[in-house]
Amino acid sequence: MFEIDPSHYRNFIFGIISKKNLARRKWHKFTLWEEELILFWNKGDVRCYKNYCPHYGLPLDQGKLTDGHIQCGLHAWKFQLSDGKFVSAPYTKKSPNCGLVGHKAFIEQGMVFVYTGDEEYFETAKGYTIGNVLEDQVSGHVEYEVPFYLALNSGIDYAHFPFHKFFFQAYRIYRWVSFNKNSMLTSYTPTLVEETDAYFKYVIEETGSEITVYPFCINHFDPKSSNQWQTFISPISETKSIYLNTLKSDSSNCIYRMLCYLGFHTIVISALHEDKKWLESIYPNFKKGRNINLCDHDFHLKKYLSKFITQPKSKSKNPSGQKNILFSGR
d(CA 109, CA 29): 21
CATH architecture type of domain 137-324: Alpha-Beta Complex (3.90)
Q: In the chain, which segments carry CATH 2.102.10.10?
A: 8-126
Residue 67: φ, ψ to 5° = 50, 65
| Residue 209: predicted pLDDT | 86
Q: Looking at this protein, which amino acid is placed at residue 101? A: V
d(Cα 257, Cα 117) in Å, to the nearest integer?
Answer: 39
pLDDT of residue 322: 36
Asked if 245 and 151 count as a contact pair (C-beta separation under 8 A), the reply is no
> What pLDDT, in 10s, does the model give residues 181-215?
555 555 678 889 999 988 999 998 877 889 999 98
Q: Is the CB of residue 241 less than 8 Å from the CB of residue 12?
A: no
Read out DSSP for 226-279? Answer: TEEEEEEEEEEETTEEEEEEEEEE--S-HHHHHHHHHHHHHHHHHHHHHHHHHH
The model's pLDDT over 217-234, given as tens digits with 9 standing for 90+, comes to: 999 888 877 778 888 999
> Which segment of 27-31, 257-261, 301-305 scores lowest on mean pLDDT?
257-261
- Give the pLDDT band of residue 112 (cuts 50, 70, 90): very high
| Residue 2 and residue 312 in contact, taking contact as beta carbons nearer than 8 Å | yes
Q: What is the pTM of this model?
A: 0.83
For CATH 3.90.380.10, list the domain ranges present in the chain: 137-324
Which CATH number applies to 8-126?
2.102.10.10
